[in-house]
Chains A and B, each alone.
Chain A
Amino acid sequence: AQSVTQLGSHVSVSEGALVLLRCNYSSSVPPYLFWYVQYPNQGLQLLLKYTTGATLVKGINGFEAEFKKSETSFHLTKPSAHMSDAAEYFCAVIKRSNDYKLSFGAGTTVTVRA
Chain B
Amino acid sequence: NAGVTQTPKFQVLKTGQSMTLQCAQDMNHNSMYWYRQDPGMGLRLIYYSASEGTTDKGEVPNGYNVSRLNKREFSLRLESAAPSQTSVYFCASSGLAGGPTDTQYFGPGTRLTVL
| Top 6 A-B pairs, shortest CB-CB distance | A43-B106, A104-B42, A44-B106, A104-B43, A51-B101, A94-B100
Does B50 belong to the interface (CB within 8 Å)?
yes
| Residue of B whose beta carbon sits closest to that of A99 | B100
List the A side residues contacting B58 at CB < 8 Å: 101
Q: How far is the CA of A41 from the CA of B100 in the complex (A)?
A: 27
Does A18 belong to the interface (CB within 8 Å)?
no
Residue pair A101, B106 in contact (C-beta under 8 Å): no
Measured between C-beta atoms, what is the minimum distance from A58 to chain B in Å?
A: 15
List the B side residues contacting A49 at CB < 8 Å: 101, 103
Give A contacts to B, CB under 8 Å: 1, 4, 9, 32, 41-46, 49, 51, 90, 92, 94, 97-107
Known contacts A43-B90, A90-B42, A94-B101; is A100 also within 8 Å of B31 by CB?
Answer: yes
| Residue of B whose beta carbon sits closest to that of A106 | B42
In chain B between 33 and 48, which residues have their CB closer than 8 angstroms to a CB of chain A? 33, 40-45, 48
Candidate in A45, A92, A99, A104 with the most chain B CB atoms within 10 angstroms: A104
What number of B residues sit within 8 Å (CB to CB) of A? 25
Measured between C-beta atoms, what is the minimum distance from B74 to chain A in Å?
A: 13
* Interface secondary structure of A, over-half rule: loop
Measured between C-beta atoms, what is the minimum distance from A74 to chain B in Å?
A: 14
Q: How far is the CA of A106 from the CA of B43 in the complex (A)?
A: 8
Q: How far is the CA of A40 from the CA of B43 in the complex (A)?
A: 15
List the A side residues contacting B108 at CB < 8 Å: 41-43
Q: How far is the CA of A108 from the CA of B103 in the complex (A)?
A: 21
In chain B between 64 and 115, which residues have their CB closer than 8 angstroms to a CB of chain A? 90, 92, 94, 99-101, 103-104, 106-109
Candidate in A42, A43, A101, A106 with the most chain B CB atoms within 10 angstroms: A43
Residue pair B90, A105 in contact (C-beta under 8 Å): no
Q: How far is the CA of A103 from the CA of B104 in the complex (A)?
A: 12
Q: How far is the CA of A75 from the CA of B90 in the complex (A)?
A: 25
Q: How far is the CA of A44 from the CA of B109 in the complex (A)?
A: 9
Residue pair A100, B48 in contact (C-beta under 8 Å): yes
